[in-house]
Structure 1
């Protein structure tokens, strides 16, 4: 794959940034695409742009404002609470988001001569999002190939990793400090370690603590 080109679906968060570093190891040429769907925190787009600039990656921002209009949710509406009731989809779930993002990323990739798409979806820590499941990605991969008569490969480096293992991957890629300090995962729009209270921050912090504890245990042996 070293001679080929990839497009990374990029939000500037922990997962997509780890995937960006992974792609830089795997492919000769890497670009990033970020989607502006009038998300709750515009800082997300700024962070993605800053990271792409830091890494010397060509970065495209696509306007997806229609998604905001069609699928109101806690990530696009400041008056909606961030919550997850048992047996229901989280209020942060955006209907069709990964379907649309990957489809538009594929259109962009084809125009740029890239056959590889990289996304940070994860079934292990998928938070109840149906469009983060492996079966969805495989199905969409077939559909995109048929729709455009073009052989895409969708890569999901984090699909079977928990958050501790995602931190481990970042460390193995030499990007642990970068991901820890320069990404935005927090639902409340606070960079790095975030607010420490929202579901995204709790998951991120717990995973980091587990990884660092495991790493310290190995080093002490």
Structure 2
């Protein structure tokens, strides 16, 4: 039996990966990390989606991360801003994907799972260094050596942009579900979100391009 563990936030990308995993693996579980993120709704949305998809969801306390680094996703007193002059956005959380994948691997080995799936993407990655293919491949080797276990980290979205991510959702029969029930917005608004934060702008621009390509005039904002 092929088993997979999805690193799962309840957002557009990780939910697309969940549907992808359900298509490609016999048994799927999800893991969600509580790192004192700005909107706790993210955790509740992840739990709800996992329940609706009939997959097990484990929430792991990663609040230590908030003690180690300051960023706009964990500190309400830091403004959400896109990167300027080569700087990273204020939403970048140092070490987040490194720690998430490492803890996911520990959990996966304990459960006899070899396949780990994450929604990181180098095409629309805002310059985040831990979303790069090079990093994921390097960590995959490191985890295998560290635990003497044959992990395979899958990144279904690595080389596609947001328009293509919407297309993949449609191909998986999950377009409406992902549009209506996922939480990508940095301000914690489910679905099409606030329309103003960087995450919403990226999501809605990809949606606009996808809908235009499909020849539909459906609004990209509720």
TM-score, normalisation: structure 1? 0.96
User: Who is 1:75 aligned against?
Assistant: 73
* Distance of 1:86 and 1:171 partners within structure 2: 36
* Distance of 2:189 and 2:84 partners within structure 1: 24
Unpaired segments of 5 or more residues in structure 1?
Answer: none
- SS of equivalent residue, structure 1 residue 15: helix
- Residue from 57, 60, 68 that aligns with 1:59: 57
- After TM superposition, the structure 1 stretch with the greater mean CA deviation from structure 2, 188-197 or 82-91, is 82-91
Structure 2 counterparts to residues 11-160 of structure 1, below 5 A: 11-83=9-81, 84-160=83-159
Give the CA deviation at 1:86: 2.5
* Distance of 1:124 and 1:78 partners within structure 2: 28
Give the CA deviation at 1:175: 0.3
Give the CA deviation at 1:128: 1.0
Unpaired segments of 5 or more residues in structure 2?
Answer: 217-222
Aligned length: 215
Give the CA deviation at 1:160: 0.2
* Distance of 1:5 and 1:145 partners within structure 2: 17
User: Who is 1:163 aligned against?
Assistant: 162
Which segments of structure 1 move beyond 4 Å, counting only runs of 4 or more? none
* Distance of 1:184 and 1:79 partners within structure 2: 22
* Distance of 1:185 and 1:75 partners within structure 2: 12
TM-score, normalisation: structure 2? 0.96
Give the CA deviation at 1:152: 0.3
* Distance of 1:65 and 1:176 partners within structure 2: 32
* Distance of 1:213 and 1:88 partners within structure 2: 32
Which deviations, in whole Å up to 9, do the C-alpha atoms of 1:169-218 show, x marking residues without a partner? 0000000000000000001111100000111000100101101111228x
User: Who is 1:200 aligned against?
Assistant: 199
- Cα RMSD over matched residues? 0.8
- SS of equivalent residue, structure 1 residue 7: strand
- SS of equivalent residue, structure 2 residue 215: helix
- SS of equivalent residue, structure 1 residue 60: strand
- SS of equivalent residue, structure 2 residue 106: helix
